[in-house]
A and B are shown apart, each in its own frame.
Chain A
Amino acid sequence: MRSFSSVFSGIERALSGAGLDGYLVIFGSITVMAVLIMAIFANYIAPYDPVQSVGPAIHPPCTKYIMGTDSIGRDVFSRIVYGSRTILTVVVMSTGLSMVIGIPLGLISGYMGGILDRILSLIMDSIYAFPGLILAIVIAAMLGPGIYNTALSLAVVYIPTYFRMIRGEVLSLRERLFIEAARAIGAKSRRIITKYIFPNVIYLIAVIFSLNVADAILTEAGLSFLGLSVTAPTPDWGFDLKNGQRYFLSGIWWPVTFPGIMIILLALGFGFLGEGLNTIVSKRGE
């Protein structure tokens, strides 16, 4: 019990002076945690098999099927619970891949400068200027459906985001004294990047990560809404929403509303988290 309250007071202290932004962080973390728990413990939480017909088709929410059933009698709630796995897996894999490629390139490009930097920047800026979802659509269409393919197509879209942010930060860090000093004492480039620059961009990475994940969630949902992400029985929020669209306007609201709310909540969670963190950290920095 004591450790519990000390954790709490720790959080309180961390958020003191954060004002309303503290609430954003709290709301964001709770939402994200909830979905994470949902995904991890899906088999304990979901009452039914998400890919089997378990009741009458198009049954409105009731005590037995709390979010109703879809057009072929699958339990909407169970599909939502398992669907969190799909979207989180895709998003985590894709952002991980974008980071693994985008961050080192940004570090090197920003630090080295010169012709390499110019070429890389031009390429990244061009991709960045292209509508992300459309790029993801084409890549996903060429690769075919599947979780890995979807993750790959999202990763390509978001590499420039990481690259640009990190590069910009490195450029401003490079001018700062301590790196000049490190260079003066003859440290190797690789050492300077990993020892001096990288630790200074970690906070930035956390912020971009939150905001970027929010974006990636919406893009993943968009891809699956367009039918380019997963194939038929797999539970997936965007895909389920698309399947419910046909009946939605005739009053069958539940197969659309619940997945939609989940997509929005998850994007909001990460969005609030990133915004709150960013504001708090930049206030502290003043």
Chain B
Amino acid sequence: MTSLKTYVITRVLLTIPMIFILLTLVFFVMRVLPGNPVIAMVGMKASQRYIKQLEHELRLDKPLWEQYVDYLNRLLHGDLGRSMIWGRRPVINEIMDHFPATLELTVWGFIFSVLLGLATGVVAGVKEGGKMDFAMRVYSIVVYSLFIPWFGMVLQLIFGVWLHALPVGGRINPLLTPKHITGIYVLDSMLTWNLPALSSSIRHLMLPSLTLGIVLSGIYTRLVRSSLIEVLGQDFIRACKSRGLPERSILFKHGLKNALIPILTMMGLQFALLLAGAVLTETTFSWPGIGTFLMERIEYRDFTTVQGTVVFYAIFVALISLIVDLIYAYIDPRVRY
């Protein structure tokens, strides 16, 4: 047990510098890059007085290091600042309004991409160098190259306009919005047993999450493929064969299970890709998540909100990678015991 404890502690400790570096990067990007953020925000034509006032408000008139310390200090207290437009709400509240939508989209996209990636990766990895292997490698590159907005629009055209089968935008029929519990509509409508809302939210989810899932599945195809090939070449697989175990159980129970461990350790990085892809998906499908929110605030030059949102992304990514590693530690007996 002690080795697990040390692992968890080191892993948690390692997250701190990572968050710290990312926060510093964000600070750097937001202030030190050429160009005055205030002018970037309000435009050249604003009056000098207004610019001065904003600079003061954002503490941009202080020395850089003072700003930096102040910035970290506020973050440490969970303060992301206040939005600069529309009622000046705390940024964290604004983010939390949009976060469930993104979470819902990415989780479903994640599920689709893993399922597709597993299926194609196993088909490829079972026989390295075979025709199917090549076909699946091509699949992985082709889907990854599908430019998300374009692919999303094509799906909208086919399933929304031609087949009239699925809605092309939004999260849910607004009249059916379920009672707010988690903010994740599928979950909320199940918790309140609201079937019309459930069906509406799933139908709205279909196209965006499929778009995201299919495009990112190519990465899993490659990961599953190479990991499976590696595992199937190991001694214990031959030992399994020497005991007359059925091929299916060798492939799935022994081969795939072992192959998934290294893939799991890379899930954190994959999730970052998912979040990036989600920005494009949300924009294409008018999905009211953090991605569209960020783009909207960039357009309105809401400096604090943009900064807060990126900080949120940074912390979220670091936490996801921490969680993934902890799950890995729990699953792999070599770490657990």
Contact = CB atoms under 8 A, between A and B. Distances in A.
Direct contact of A and B (CB under 8 A): yes
Interface of A: 19-21, 24, 122-123, 125-135, 137-139, 141-144, 214, 218, 221-222, 225-228, 238, 241-242, 245, 248-249, 251, 253, 256-257, 259-261, 263-264, 267-268, 271-272, 275
B35 A144 contact: yes
Nearest to A131: B276
A24 B299 CA distance: 41
Contacts of A21: 134
B214 interface: no
Interface of chain A: mostly helix, strand, loop or mixed: helix
Contacts of B22: 126-127, 130
Contacts of B157: 248-249, 253
Contact of B280 (A141, A144, A214, A222): A222
Interface stretch (B107-115, B193-201, B255-263, B265-273): B265-273
Contact of A134 (B142, B144, B276): B276
B40 A130 contact: no
A242 B147 contact: no
A159 to B, nearest CB: 12
B276 A133 contact: yes
Interface of chain B: mostly helix, strand, loop or mixed: helix
Contacts of A238: 147, 149
Contact of A225 (B40, B146, B149): B149
A141 B279 contact: no
A157 B30 CA distance: 15
Given A142-B29, A142-B30, A142-B33, A125 B18 contact: yes
B190 interface: no
A135 to B, nearest CB: 8
Given A126-B21, A130-B22, A225-B283, A260 B147 contact: yes
12 contacts: A132-B273, A134-B276, A138-B29, A139-B33, A144-B40, A225-B283, A226-B279, A241-B150, A249-B160, A259-B150, A260-B147, A272-B138
A248 B153 contact: yes
Given A129-B268, A260-B150, A20 B134 contact: yes
B321 interface: yes
Most buried by B among A21, A125, A142: A142
A245 B318 contact: no
A28 B138 CA distance: 12
Contacts of B310: 134, 138
B29 A129 contact: no
Contacts of A275: 137, 141
Given A142-B40, A245-B284, 16 more contacts: A126-B17, A126-B25, A127-B22, A130-B22, A130-B314, A134-B279, A137-B279, A138-B30, A143-B35, A228-B298, A249-B160, A260-B153, A263-B147, A268-B141, A271-B141, A272-B138
Interface string B269-291: 10011011101100110000000
B295 interface: yes
Contacts of B131: 20
B226 to A, nearest CB: 11
A274 to B, nearest CB: 9
A253 B298 CA distance: 29
